[in-house]
Amino acid sequence: MSMTKAKETTVSNFIRTIIDEDLAKGKHETIVTRFPPEPNGYLHIGHAKSICLNFGLALDYGGHCNLRFDDTNPLKEEEEYVASIKEDVSWLGYDWDGHLNYASDYFQDLYTYALRLIEDGKAYVCSLSQEEIREYRGTLKVPGRESPYRKRSVRENLELFEQMRCGAFPEGSYVLRARIDMAHPNLNMRDPVIYRILKAYHHRTGDTWCIYPTYDYAHGLSDALEGVTHSLCSLEFEDHRPLYDWFLDQLPVPSRPRQYEFARLNLGYTVLSKRKLIQLVQKGCVRGWDDPRMPTICGLRRRGFSAASIRNFCELIGVGKSYSLVDMSMLEHAAREDLNKTASRVMGVLDPLKVVLINYPEDQEEELEAVNNPEDLAMGVRRVPFSREIYIEQDDFREDPPRKYFRLAPGREVRLRYGYYITCVDVIKDEQTGEILEVHCTFDPETRGGDSPDGRKVKGTLHWVSARHCIRAEVRLYDRLFVRPDPTADEKEGSDFMEHLNPDSLRTIESCPVEPSIREMGPGTRCQLERKGYFCVDPDTTPGRLVLNRTVPLRDSWAKIEQKMKG
């Protein structure tokens, strides 16, 4: 794996305790984990937690993690998703080191195991329809009824299963079921389906097979065939563990994995259901799977989240057994912590107001030295052009300033970042509307670099951009996708989660002036627009069009809103 081992800094959890005990007892010489995504969509931040857990544990304990695609349903799987999943895992910083597998690699083994179950009287071919199987299964309070086909002979079952394998029957006419216990208190143990007929082209095996194993059947057996020691699943699979163990107990598998469950990630102000994410895409609520408002890994990457920030977030939230809703601010905090240390600083003005330095020569221009990152001086400095006309933020000027307002106002002196002290001497307005068109100031040439030789101090420091040298950018200001922490909370009462979409989740500002150094930054480059937030150059950027995505503001603007809602 490509990441540096750092077990000594890792917070322990119940899974690590189990692994420590297993290794101490000599149960395993090393550990093998696996990350088994189904290639039927794009991964999201919830999958990132599982990726970081499985690959991280293997890394820390000197084992390995298998990337295994659960490709047992050819109706929904595509190579596009396989490629995107590989990209996401690799981007997060993990390397499967040749341990790349597919459930389809084991189709022949799984078929052979199914024959063994039939021969041992532990599986049978059933002719009930899907609806009838559901009806016969019973409920939590009512035991199930045995299928009328449950007592077929071994010979008849073998013949029917072989005919299923050869494509002799239409879809839905037969299934292979495990013969367990129709009165079992766990509904998953009531003769579950383990093979169904699907006459569909498979992205890897083509038309070789027309019967496909179910996930519950393939999961544990694939783990055993790969030598997985610790099979880590989210809590919804806890009720499936007896079935996982049952198949392993009945068959001559080469190894004996154990399944352990942990709480899945539930993140506030978004949804992590693949079905709901598909709805958002299909109904045009977002611009696709990689829309920066989406919780998908490709969406977060496009928005500007770094791989390190997502790994740190997953470490921060930890691994437990109980349900919890993680506040979005924790993910945003992880982004700020990382980007503060790694992102270059540039200046840009989102809501520009022109300032004219009336005593600065009209034909003069110069370059000022600016620090690229005060948190990492090794990132060096850059040269920022300066001229008579500059842009500042509209909010950085008040004609009639309130108390404790320390920015520019008539008669007030402020500092330009890396530049000069300036003093407002006049305000130019539209004669009809009264709108402020520009502000006239004088500059003090003795204060170049932002310090006064006579020791006088100013309280306000403003960022700015030279009007003559700036380039223009389309800036996309992204915010949380929903206005409620849990958009699905009222679903049982008939509420639609999309009723809680945030209408202000995207605000686009055209033609924002930014300093020209940003021209050197290609798509995916992260930076901080000083005093405004962290941004990323979007892939929509072309030589004649710069597009910036806001990753997060410098501060959590939702903190006060959330506090008010709780109050």
Check residue 3 and give its pLDDT.
Answer: 47
CATH number at 522 reads: 1.10.1160.10
Residue 207 in this model has a pLDDT that exceeds 70: yes
**Residue 383, C-beta contacts closer than 8 angstroms, at least 6 positions apart:** 367, 368, 369, 370, 517
Q: Which domain holds residue 191?
A: 107-214
97-108 pLDDT, tens digit per residue, is: 999 999 999 999
288-328 pLDDT, tens digit per residue, is: 999 999 999 999 999 999 999 999 999 999 999 998 899 99
Domain boundary among the residues 436, 466, 496 is at 466
Candidates 285, 310, 379, 304; CA nearest to 341 is: 379
Strand 123-126 and strand 100-102: the pairing is unpaired
Known catalytic residue at 116: no
Residues 340 and 481 in one domain: yes
Evaluate whether residue 62 is within a structural domain.
Answer: no
Residues 405 and 550 in one domain: no
List the catalytic residue out of 165, 204, 264, 531. Answer: 264
CATH number at 404 reads: 2.40.240.10
Residues 326 and 364 in one domain: no
Calpha distance 26→91 (Å, rounded) = 34
Predicted TM-score of the model (pTM): 0.92
* Mean pLDDT across 509-531: 96
Cβ contact 506:476 at 8 Å: yes
Residue 436 in this model has a pLDDT that exceeds 80: yes
Domain boundary among the residues 172, 195, 214 is at 214
Domain boundary among the residues 466, 486, 514 is at 466
Contacts made by residues 2-9, CB under 8 angstroms, sequence distance 24+: 2/93, 2/94, 2/95, 3/55, 3/59, 3/93, 3/94, 5/59, 5/60, 5/62, 6/60, 7/60, 7/61
Check residue 100 and give its pLDDT.
Answer: 98
345-403 pLDDT, tens digit per residue, is: 999 999 999 999 999 999 999 999 999 999 999 999 999 999 999 999 999 999 999 99
217-251 pLDDT, tens digit per residue, is: 999 999 999 999 999 999 999 999 999 999 999 99
The alpha helices in 166-306, defined as continuous H runs, are 215-226, 241-250, 274-282, 297-303
536-563 pLDDT, tens digit per residue, is: 999 999 998 999 999 999 987 655 544 5
User: Can you count the helices (H) and strands (E) in the chain?
Assistant: 13, 24
Candidates 509, 501, 520; CA nearest to 548 is: 509
* Mean pLDDT across 488-497: 87
Residues 429 and 443 in one domain: yes
Check residue 12 and give its pLDDT.
Answer: 83
Residues 326 and 353 in one domain: no
List the catalytic residue out of 274, 276, 407, 531. Answer: 274
**Total tally of structural domains belonging to the chain:** 3
Residues 478 and 554 in one domain: yes
Cβ contact 109:221 at 8 Å: yes
Check residue 11 and give its pLDDT.
Answer: 73
410-419 pLDDT, tens digit per residue, is: 999 999 999 9
DSSP state of 518: G
DSSP state of 521: P
Which tokens sit at 526? 């992260």
What phi and psi values does residue 491 have, to the nearest 5 degrees?
A: -60, -35
Residues 447 and 491 in one domain: no
Evaluate whether residue 49 is within a structural domain.
Answer: no
Known catalytic residue at 171: no
Residues 208 and 145 in one domain: yes
List the catalytic residue out of 16, 38, 87, 122. Answer: 38
Where is average pLDDT lowest: 54-68, 85-99, 424-438, 445-459?
Answer: 445-459
Residue 566 in this model has a pLDDT that exceeds 60: no
Tokens 């049952």, located at residue: 246
Check residue 559 and give its pLDDT.
Answer: 55
112-167 pLDDT, tens digit per residue, is: 999 999 999 999 999 999 999 999 999 999 999 999 999 999 999 999 999 999 99
Known catalytic residue at 264: yes
